[in-house]
């Protein structure tokens, strides 16, 4: 039985939103001393090995997180199978995953649905100014704050 709870964030290219969400959650679970959680990210149309967008790296630093060694990764069947919770940035990402891997239905959610915020997800800042990335970072930090209790509880159950 797995002893870790795997959370994966998914967006399109895995260079802006999902890496930023990954960095924020990783930073917060470390800061709060939450054990047993692994965090990753991928993109439904990502190219392997790209760096996170410069503005995402800047915003991560501003939020006390790091994307320094980050490299993009495409979503694969193996990653979907390993993840316990897959949080997408928009409904289109959720639909893309479920079309390809319908068996993942119970663990794939738009982040704003899972957190209880409602809404359409997290807007894509790609190609926009730093301010758009900062808005994205603030939105992701707010969502991460809301999901941490659920992640902590799931990780705690996994270790038992």
CATH number of the CATH domain containing 9: 3.40.50.2300
Give residue 115's domain range: 5-152
Cα 155 from Cα 147, distance rounded (Å): 12
Q: Residue 160 falls within a domain, yes or no?
A: no
pLDDT at 159: 62
Respond yes or no: is residue 11 known to be catalytic: yes
List the catalytic residue out of 51, 124, 134, 158.
124
In a domain, 92, yes or no: yes
Q: Percent helix, strand, coil in the chain (nearest 5)? A: 50, 15, 35
- Residue 125 is predicted with a pLDDT of 97
- The pLDDT assigned to 87 comes to 98
Catalytic residue among 11, 26, 136, 141, which?
Answer: 11
Q: Would residue 138 show up in a list of annotated catalytic residues for this protein?
A: no
Residue 16 domain-assigned? yes
Residue 158 lies in a domain: no
Count of structural domains, the chain? 1
Mean pLDDT, consecutive 10-residue segments, the chain of 160 residues?
86 97 97 94 96 97 95 97 97 97 97 93 96 98 96 81
Residue 155: the pLDDT is 87
Structure tokens at 157: 């159950």
pLDDT of res. 46: 96
Active-site position among 17, 26, 57, 141 = 17
129 in a domain, yes or no? yes
To the query of whether residue 124 is one of the catalytic residues in this protein, the response is: yes
Residue with tokens 């054990």: 35
pLDDT of residue 156: 84
What tokens were used for 42?
A: 């991928």
Phi then psi for residue 7, to 5 deg, are -110, 130
């Amino acid at each position: 039985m797995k002893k870790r709870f795997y959370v994966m964030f998914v967006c399109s290219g895995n260079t802006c939103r999902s890496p930023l969400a990954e960095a924020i959650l990783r930073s917060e679970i470390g800061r709060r001393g939450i054990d047993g959680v692994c965090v990753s990210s991928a993109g439904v149309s990502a190219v392997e090995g790209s760096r996170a967008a410069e503005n995402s790296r800047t915003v991560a630093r501003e939020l006390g997180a790091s994307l320094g060694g980050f490299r993009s990764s495409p979503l694969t069947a193996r990653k979907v199978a390993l993840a316990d919770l897959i949080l997408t940035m928009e409904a289109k990402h959720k639909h893309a995953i479920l079309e390809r891997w319908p068996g993942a239905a119970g663990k794939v959610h738009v982040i704003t649905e899972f957190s209880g915020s409602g809404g359409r997800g997290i807007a894509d800042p790609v190609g926009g100014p730093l301010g758009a990335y900062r808005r994205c970072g603030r939105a992701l930090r707010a969502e991460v704050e809301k999901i941490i209790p659920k992640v902590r509880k799931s990780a705690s159950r996994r270790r038992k």
